[in-house]
């Protein structure tokens, strides 16, 4: 019960940003002594910090006088934003990124170090050793790792990774703990993005997040919680086959959506529809769209993606999809086309408006949310801390 109360209080404070002890207790329906005890413990551990705010204006007591005086400064609580307590790592197909993070981080993604993703466990160990030597000395409470593929998060294992097959044989937690001997949490990359979106948009309790980048993947938030299954397969939209698509996929199948909708797939399609010798780049694609609108080949890819997304919305009963990743870097006509196509296929559109929004990636905020939920919420009820 103590851990549950702590987790609930931390989640609420993350949503509110700033709150007094009384406000926290009232908003949670928790007794003030219980909330106060949890707050005191978390302040002592450095999870929370207390800051002074401007006092309130209080009336002089004379009706119609209009004079006022400054009241006593208030004391507000927030998650500690100063001391780095986590090391965040993003293991991606092309680049691996690192940055220290405080418990109170809730901003946009900014990585302190980036390297080309190693091609083997040996290279990974060598690169980790180099990065560890460059990192400032901090007493980390945990390492938070975003990884692609099908991930068994409780066991800390990558079960299947179509684009990084060598990670399937890797005992990644012991490798990391050679350099940072603290708890390590693995979070599947799209689930981290969904947690980050929820953390920065607390009103969004039900949505499907779809990310277009090195692959095409998704994650689902239902009633404010990540959708999970006993076998950790969910949100694999990119491996839905598209009729007429003959491209081989890293998963071993043919015709998967991500062979068309990923960054690599889109550039391959651009090359197929450009004259020999033309510049093939993301910037060239954006320029072509800005000048001539959405080309027919891209419209077909967006329609195929919309069919998959609308089908997922219909199965889940959702009316909101959040698109993250590189599609948002292209001219607005691309998202407008995708949004219209999703609405045509989603049953919710017959009864109301289907929301199809673009948002910045908030992977770091999602990793911190996972760290708070799985590590920090237990510290107040663990005798020896981390």
pLDDT at 232 over 70: yes
pTM of structure: 0.88
Considering the domain boundaries, does residue 35 fall inside one? no
Q: Domain check: are 351 and 374 in the same one? A: no
Q: Domain check: are 354 and 372 in the same one? A: no
| Mean of pLDDT values over 25-38 | 91
Q: Domain check: are 120 and 189 in the same one? A: yes
pLDDT at 384 over 50: no
* Boundaries of domain holding 116: 84-193+363-379
DSSP conformation letters of 282-309: HHHHHHHHHHH-S-HHHHHHHHHHHHHH
Looking at residue 68, its pLDDT comes to: 44
Considering the domain boundaries, does residue 89 fall inside one? yes
Backbone torsions φ then ψ of 51, nearest 5 degrees? -125, 150
Q: Domain check: are 230 and 158 in the same one? A: no
Q: Domain check: are 299 and 317 in the same one? A: yes
Looking at residue 256, its pLDDT comes to: 97
Considering the domain boundaries, does residue 375 fall inside one? yes
Report the candidate in 226, 189, 177 with the shortest Cα–Cα distance to residue 204: 226
Determine if residue 66 is left, alpha or beta; phi over 0 gives left, psi from -120 to 50 gives alpha, anything else beta.
left
Looking at residue 166, which CATH number applies to its domain? 3.30.420.40
Structural contact between residues 145 and 176, judged by C-beta atoms closer than 8 angstroms: yes
Check residue 159 and report its DSSP letter: E
Interval 339-348: pLDDT, tens:
999 999 999 9
Q: Domain check: are 124 and 152 in the same one? A: yes
- Residues 91 and 186: their CA atoms lie apart, in Å, by 10
Instruction: Give the confidence band of 379 by pLDDT, cuts at 50, 70, 90.
Output: low
Check residue 353 and report its DSSP letter: P
Instruction: Give the confidence band of 114 by pLDDT, cuts at 50, 70, 90.
Output: very high
**CA distances (Å), origin 213, targets 76, 97, 283:** 40, 16, 15
Give per-residue burial for 260-286: e unless 16+ CB within 10 Å, then b.
Answer: bbbbbbbeebbeeeeeeeeeeeeeebe
Q: Domain check: are 178 and 241 in the same one? A: no
- Residues 226 and 206: their CA atoms lie apart, in Å, by 9
Q: Domain check: are 304 and 369 in the same one? A: no
Structural contact between residues 262 and 238, judged by C-beta atoms closer than 8 angstroms: yes
> Which residues partner with 86 through β-bridges?
101, 142
If one counts the domains in the chain, the total is 2
Instruction: Give the confidence band of 1 by pLDDT, cuts at 50, 70, 90.
Output: low
Within 8 A by CB and 6+ apart from 15, the residues are 202
Q: Which of 53-67, 139-153, 346-360 has the lowest mean pLDDT?
A: 53-67
CA dihedral 300, 306, 312, 314 (to 10 degrees): -120
User: What is the overall mean pLDDT for the chain?
Assistant: 89
Looking at residue 66, its pLDDT comes to: 45
- Tokens 């329609």 belong to residue: 303
Within 8 A by CB and 6+ apart from 269, the residues are 260, 297, 298, 301
Considering the domain boundaries, does residue 50 fall inside one? no
Q: Domain check: are 292 and 370 in the same one? A: no
pLDDT at 359 over 80: yes
Interval 252-273: pLDDT, tens:
999 999 999 999 999 999 999 9
> Which residues partner with 226 through β-bridges?
221
Considering the domain boundaries, does residue 107 fall inside one? yes
Instruction: Give the confidence band of 158 by pLDDT, cuts at 50, 70, 90.
Output: very high
Considering the domain boundaries, does residue 125 fall inside one? yes
Interval 164-222: pLDDT, tens:
999 998 899 999 999 999 999 999 999 999 999 998 886 678 999 999 999 999 999 99
Looking at residue 385, its pLDDT comes to: 41
- Tokens 């998963």 belong to residue: 251
Q: Domain check: are 263 and 318 in the same one? A: yes
Considering the domain boundaries, does residue 9 fall inside one? no
Considering the domain boundaries, does residue 25 fall inside one? no
pLDDT at 381 over 50: no
Q: Domain check: are 144 and 216 in the same one? A: no
Looking at residue 106, its pLDDT comes to: 85
Q: Domain check: are 146 and 208 in the same one? A: no
Q: Which pair of tokens denotes residue 93?
A: 């197909």
Looking at residue 378, its pLDDT comes to: 60
């Amino acid at each position: 019960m103590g851990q549950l109360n702590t987790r609930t209080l931390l989640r609420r404070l993350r949503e509110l940003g700033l709150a007094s002890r009384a406000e926290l207790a009232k908003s949670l329906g928790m007794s003030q002594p219980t909330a106060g005890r949890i707050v005191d413990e978390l302040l002592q551990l450095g999870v929370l910090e207390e800051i002074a705010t401007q006092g309130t204006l209080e009336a002089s007591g004379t009706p119609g006088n209009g004079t006022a005086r400054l009241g006593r400064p208030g004391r507000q609580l927030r998650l500690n934003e100063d001391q780095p307590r986590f090391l965040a790592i993003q293991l991606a197909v092309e680049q691996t990124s690192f940055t220290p993070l405080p418990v109170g981080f809730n901003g946009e993604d900014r990585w302190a170090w980036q390297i080309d993703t190693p091609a083997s466990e040996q290279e990974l160990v060598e690169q980790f050793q180099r990065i560890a030597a460059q990192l400032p000395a901090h007493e980390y409470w945990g390492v938070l790792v975003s990884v692609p593929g099908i991930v068994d998060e409780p066991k800390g294992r990558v079960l299947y990774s179509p684009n990084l097959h060598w990670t399937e044989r890797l005992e990644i937690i012991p490798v990391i703990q050679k350099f940072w001997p603290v708890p390590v949490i693995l979070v599947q990359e799209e689930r981290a993005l969904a947690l980050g979106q929820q953390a920065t948009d607390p009103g969004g309790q039900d949505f499907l997040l779809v990310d277009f980048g090195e692959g095409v993947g998704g994650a689902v938030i239902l009633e404010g919680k990540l959708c999970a299954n006993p076998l950790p397969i969910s949100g694999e939209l990119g491996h839905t086959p598209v009729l007429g698509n003959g491209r081989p996929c890293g998963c071993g199948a043919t015709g998967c959506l991500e062979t068309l909708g990923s960054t690599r797939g889109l550039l391959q399609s651009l090359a197929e529809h450009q004259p020999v010798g033309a510049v093939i780049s993301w910037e060239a694609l954006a320029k072509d769209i800005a000048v001539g609108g959405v080309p027919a080949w891209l419209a077909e890819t967006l329609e195929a993606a919309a069919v998959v997304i609308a089908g997922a919305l219909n199965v889940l009963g959702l009316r909101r999809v959040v698109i993250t990743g590189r599609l948002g870097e292209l001219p607005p006509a691309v998202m407008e086309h995708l949004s219209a196509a999703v609405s045509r296929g989603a049953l919710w559109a017959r009864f109301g408006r289907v929301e199809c929004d673009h948002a910045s990636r908030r992977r770091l905020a999602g990793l911190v949310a996972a760290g708070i939920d799985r590590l920090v919420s237990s510290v107040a009820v663990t005798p020896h801390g981390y």
